[in-house]
Structure 1
Amino acid sequence: MNQPLAGRYQFESEIARGAAGVVHRARDLITGEMVAIKVLHAEAADEPVMAGAFLDEAEVLSELNHPGIVRPRDLIINGDVMALVMDLVEGIDLRRRLVEVGPLSPAHAAQLGAELSQVLSVIHDAGIVHGDVKPGNIMLPRDGGPVRLIDFGVARRVATTGCPTHGTPDYVAPEIVAGESSTAKADVYGIGLVLFEALCGRNPYRGGSIEDVLARHRSSLPVRPDGIPIELWSIIELCLAEHPGGRPEATALPSMLRAVKPLLSDVAGAALSEPPVLRPRPVSADTALHSADVTPTVVTPPSMEAPDTGEFIDAILADSSSPFPSQEPRKRRNTPILVGAVGLLAIIAGLGFFVLTGFSSSPGVVSEPNGTEESPLNTPTIEETDTDSPPSQEPSEEGAEPSTEPSQEPGDSNGDGGMEDDSGDASDPGESEGDFPGEDLIGSPMPGSPGGN
């Protein structure tokens, strides 16, 4: 492109290319600064969904302000041209760093994880989920500054519902595989995988078809490799918990990682020569993905009907005519009845005294007996008078409440669920991502091109 974009930005070289667009290195002719410009392909700009996602990314970035987030500068819409101008990060993304140099040292990985978690904390506080946390979207600045999180192309607001969830299969959280929407805890799951790969040079779930990869996320956990210290592994394992409620918040991770950093080595280990060993996820009482921390509604796969035990419990709690009232209200109802019965006995005793002593009753004061004098022995008991008391059949004292746990886990989602394919072909033996940034989502460096955003 020889002509400056919008008469201001002169393109110099291509940084990355993807199916939807291209990222260029360019010079701002007004300020003289170097910038990165993401330009949608003309055919993508004509697609309402693609164009809408591009505009959403620009809007999300404009709401965030943190040194670890690439700052947007300009949005250009001119005919069939849609372009987003951003700060240029001179450096290399973590995925390429692992391929070209090898794993990070444990201390370096802990520092990187702490910086990444801090960035995600800011994003989550703004009510936004990144949705694609992976090494290819983490920039390591050449000047040694804090890491930068890039590519908000699939970011979404937490309150957004009814939209398809996109992501990279190698880094997608188990609840998303089960059909739920992306949440902040899904980003935390991505942090755990980033730390694992930074230390080993491999993603533990990569290899085979998309269906194989997704199934591993739900059924398996990696076994701790020898090169990962136990202090750091305990944090990684927390992040990789199957249920979102078992993972820490992103806000808690920086302090956790910095606390163990002094115990970690500055010497990097070797990349794993074989695929990581996986073990079955532990079976717990919470076998379903119905954690209280999960905001989205669970989508039950068609192959399994939703359990009705929860509906049964709710019906009992909501039914005010339940045959099992609590004991406290019953005591309160019996108190006034008891007082009334005592008063009635006192009145009857007084009338009997006057009749037996021969005093005549004064007209209009006490009525003549109707021929059947009510004896105190025939006075109704409290139980007979209390119309609100429960039936004689009492509930069992040790009755077990119906279980609210589903009888089985939801089945795996079929197909790719709208996720970007970043898992390689079926012959992939499980190495670290062999495809370079730019082949799945635009905004990352391509092989043979200068690094940058």
Structure 2
Amino acid sequence: MAYAECGSLFEFLHGSEQREYTMAMAIDWMIQCIQGINHMHSMEPILIHRDLKTANLLLTKNYRNLKIGDFGNATDLGTMMTDMSGTAGYIAPKVLLGNTYTEKCDIYSFGIVLWEVMARRKPFHHLSDPNTIAKMYLPTKDERPILFDIIPNCEKFRFVIENCWDQEPKNRPTVKEIQLTDIPCLNIIMRP
């Protein structure tokens, strides 16, 4: 495995050395993430990561390149999946309820990651006690992180995020349907 000299996206966003980044840089990371998910979902059989989160997105080349890491929970679609794999705050509701699930659980997690990068906040940060149990219970009741934390005037992000984290997996887009181009707010600086 290649060494990711710049650490994880989680460290970049929330670590002690929080750096500024542009909206254009954030979109580029998310496009690279989509490309990685597309590669996994295009395999035969389909590979499902099951633990997409900013801590598993690794940065290289002066924070410009993003790679998906930690395939410890990954499995192919042909496997009967009813176990709860993943990290609280990023796990799709069907996974939390112990139902059989598909690659759409990665799409849900991507929606949370996209929200986190655009809001620069941890999932469910608004809770007075954002513990693991709360972060696992709320998505099953159709609760999500607060969309208004996203930068104003970027409605396209809200639309993509809401579609990705839809309660019903069949309503979520495929990775090929997710579009992050033509965003009017590319010059915005994202500050800690």
What's 1:170 paired with? 89
Task: Check conservation: 2:33, 2:66, Cα contact below 8 A.
Answer: yes
Alignment of 1:277-296 (within 5 A): none
What's 1:71 paired with? none
Task: Show CA shifts across 1:148-171 (max 9, x none).
Answer: 000000101111016633110110
- Report the CA distance between 1:270 and its aligned residue: 4.1
- Report the CA distance between 1:145 and its aligned residue: 4.8
- Report the CA distance between 1:238 and its aligned residue: 1.0
Structure 2 Cα separation of the partners of residues 233 and 92 of structure 1 = 27
What's 1:97 paired with? 12
Structure of higher RCO (CA pairs closer than 8 Å, 6+ residues apart): 2
Alignment of 1:352-367 (within 5 A): none
In proportion to residue count, which structure has more strand? 1
Alignment of 1:246-285 (within 5 A): 246-253=171-178, 256-258=179-181, 260-261=182-183, 263-271=184-192
- Report the CA distance between 1:108 and its aligned residue: 2.2
**SS of equivalent residue, structure 1 residue 89:** coil
Alignment of 1:37-48 (within 5 A): none
Residues 214 and 103 of structure 1: CA distance in aligned 2, closer, same or farther (over 3 Å):
farther
Matched, 1:223 2:147: yes
Tell me the TM-score normalised to structure 2 length.
0.84
Identity level (%): 23
What's 1:122 paired with? 39
Task: Check conservation: 2:115, 2:147, Cα contact below 8 A.
Answer: no
Aligned residues: 182
What's 1:214 paired with? 136
What's 1:203 paired with? 122
What's 1:51 paired with? none
**SS of equivalent residue, structure 1 residue 87:** coil
**SS of equivalent residue, structure 2 residue 189:** coil
Task: Show CA shifts across 1:49-98 (max 9, x none).
Answer: xxxxxxxxxxxxxxxxxxxxxxxxxxxxxxxxxxxxx2223222100001
- Report the CA distance between 1:224 and its aligned residue: 2.2
- Report the CA distance between 1:251 and its aligned residue: 1.7
Alignment of 1:229-244 (within 5 A): 229-244=154-169
Task: Show CA shifts across 1:179-198 (max 9, x none).
Answer: 12442111111111111111
Matched, 1:193 2:112: yes
**SS of equivalent residue, structure 2 residue 148:** coil
Task: Check conservation: 2:25, 2:64, Cα contact below 8 A.
Answer: no
In structure 1, the gaps of 5 or more residues are 1-85, 272-453
Residues 135 and 226 of structure 1: CA distance in aligned 2, closer, same or farther (over 3 Å):
closer
**SS of equivalent residue, structure 1 residue 148:** strand
- Report the CA distance between 1:211 and its aligned residue: 2.4
- Report the CA distance between 1:205 and its aligned residue: 2.4
Alignment of 1:50-89 (within 5 A): 86-89=1-4
Structure 1 Cα separation of the partners of residues 20 and 101 of structure 2 = 29
**SS of equivalent residue, structure 1 residue 213:** helix
Residues 212 and 163 of structure 1: CA distance in aligned 2, closer, same or farther (over 3 Å):
closer
Residues 144 and 102 of structure 1: CA distance in aligned 2, closer, same or farther (over 3 Å):
closer
Residues 196 and 162 of structure 1: CA distance in aligned 2, closer, same or farther (over 3 Å):
closer
Residues 109 and 243 of structure 1: CA distance in aligned 2, closer, same or farther (over 3 Å):
same
Structure 1 Cα separation of the partners of residues 163 and 18 of structure 2 = 28
In proportion to residue count, which structure has more helix? 2
**SS of equivalent residue, structure 2 residue 98:** coil
Alignment of 1:1-12 (within 5 A): none
What's 1:382 paired with? none
